[in-house]
Amino acid sequence: MAFTTRAAKRLRLSSLPTSSCPRCTSPVQSRSISTTLSLRSPSEPPKTTHFGYETIDAALKQSRVGAVFSSVASSYDTMNDLMSLGIHRLWKDSFVRGLNPGSPPPHDNWAILDIAGGTGDIALRMLDHATTVNSDRSSHVTVSDINPQMLAEGRKRLAQTPYHAAGRLSFLEANAEDLHTVPSESIDLYTVAFGIRNFTDKPKALREAFRVLKPGGVFACLEFSKVNNSLFDAVYKRWSFGAIPLIGQVVAGDRDSYQYLVESIDRFPSQREWRGMISDAGFEIPGWKKEDGSGAEGGWEDLTGGIAAIHKGVKPVR
Ligand SMILES: C[S@@+](CC[C@H](N)C(=O)[O-])C[C@H]1O[C@@H](n2cnc3c(N)ncnc32)[C@H](O)[C@@H]1O
């Protein structure tokens, strides 16, 4: 499709802001990252994994994560606002604006797959942006999630929008690590927001993303990341570990799920390591100039000092 090539070109040309992450640039850390990555072949599934700070049998993670999201589903949107003081809305707006779905008008018709789409926050923004900014009325978003309760919340919410009646939204219950019902090379834009840290086998999910995307298609991830200022990090950790489980307990009656959420955020790879994993899956990383010799920085965009980060990858055009 013509626009996928244009989308890829646009991402390649507009390099992402260079980010700094002092924590992850030390030679010691980069050695330890590459050692960790080389211990296991990329296609070999992990035997153990993390569930927050616990190390558990990898086979158990899906059900443990499932229990968390089943428990938080009905309070998820309210809790997001409380926990982030509403800032998640700004991050999501920025994420969607940067992807500019539905452009360039009038040749729209993007096939967008929003993985771990939950209650539909990203899907809704995608369609709003495509419609209002690009006058695109034909792009389609599939909201996919492993958890039926989260999807049920999304269905309730999105069914009230004009997009559902117009056939521009659909839902898919699926594990991001096995998207066998999604044909290869059928998707223009794959998005995942605050979901991928919960996956058991992230390299497998990245390979699936690569498979379903058309050549020139874009992988885009918005996820919590590593704060790049130690003072700010100390304040942020105090807030997240002190307040979030407490808010979870008071508002949602569920401290443990929110304790897991903050621990899983802390466990997620650094910006630099995550960029390497996306590259290992075969994606070209806009803004990462490996050829300049350093290979250290670039290729992601930090939000609010690195509390969250946006990573993008383009499936190469053959
Ligand atoms: C924190 S919510 C994010 C929801 C939404 N993307 C947002 O930004 O508001 C994480 C979602 O990831 C989903 N999830 C966890 N593991 C998954 C997997 N293996 N495959 C697909 N979705 C998964 C959960 O069910 C949950 O809905």
Q: Tens digit of pLDDT for each residue in 295-311? A: 567 899 999 999 999 99
pTM summary value? 0.85
Contact 274 CB / ligand 1 (< 6 Å): no
Confidence of residue 290 (pLDDT cuts 50, 70, 90): low
Binding site: residue ranges? 119, 145, 175-176
Q: How confident is the model at residue 32 (pLDDT cuts 50, 70, 90)?
A: very low
> When comparing pLDDT for 104 and 88, which is higher?
88
Indicate which atom in ligand 1 lies nearest the CA of residue 176: 20
Q: Which residues contact 11 (CB under 8 A, 6 or more apart)?
A: 218, 286, 312, 314
**Among 72, 84, 146, which residue has the most ligand 1 atoms within 8 Å of its CB, making it the best to mutate?**
146
Most confident of 34-48, 57-71, 164-178: 164-178
- With contact defined as beta carbons under 8 Å apart, do 290 and 299 qualify? no
Residue 75: per-residue pLDDT: 87
Confidence of residue 67 (pLDDT cuts 50, 70, 90): confident
Percent of the chain with pLDDT over 90: 67
The finding on whether 198 has its CB within 6 A of some atom of ligand 1 is yes
* pLDDT of 17 over the 50 cut: no
Q: In 3D, which of 115, 275, 126, 112 has the Cα closest to residue 198? A: 115
Q: Which atom of ligand 1 is nearest to the CA of 77?
A: 9
Mutate which of 69, 190, 268 for ligand 1? The one with the most ligand atoms within 8 Å of its CB, which is: 69
Q: Determine what percent of the chain is predicted with pLDDT higher than 70.
A: 83
- Split at pLDDT 50, 70, 90, the class of 268 is very high
Angle between helices 58-72 and 148-159 (to 10 degrees): 40
Q: Report pLDDT for 223.
A: 97
Question: Please, what's the b/e burial string for 132-170 (b: 16 or more CB within 10 A of its CB; e: otherwise)?
Answer: eebebbebbbbbbbbbebbbebbbebbeebebbeeebbe
What distance in angstroms lies between residue 150's CA and the mean position of ligand 1's atoms?
Answer: 8
More confident call, 33 vs 102: 102
- Cβ(117) to ligand 1 under 6 A? yes
Site to probe by mutation for ligand 1, drawn from 83, 194, 221 as the one with most ligand atoms within 8 Å of Cβ, is 194
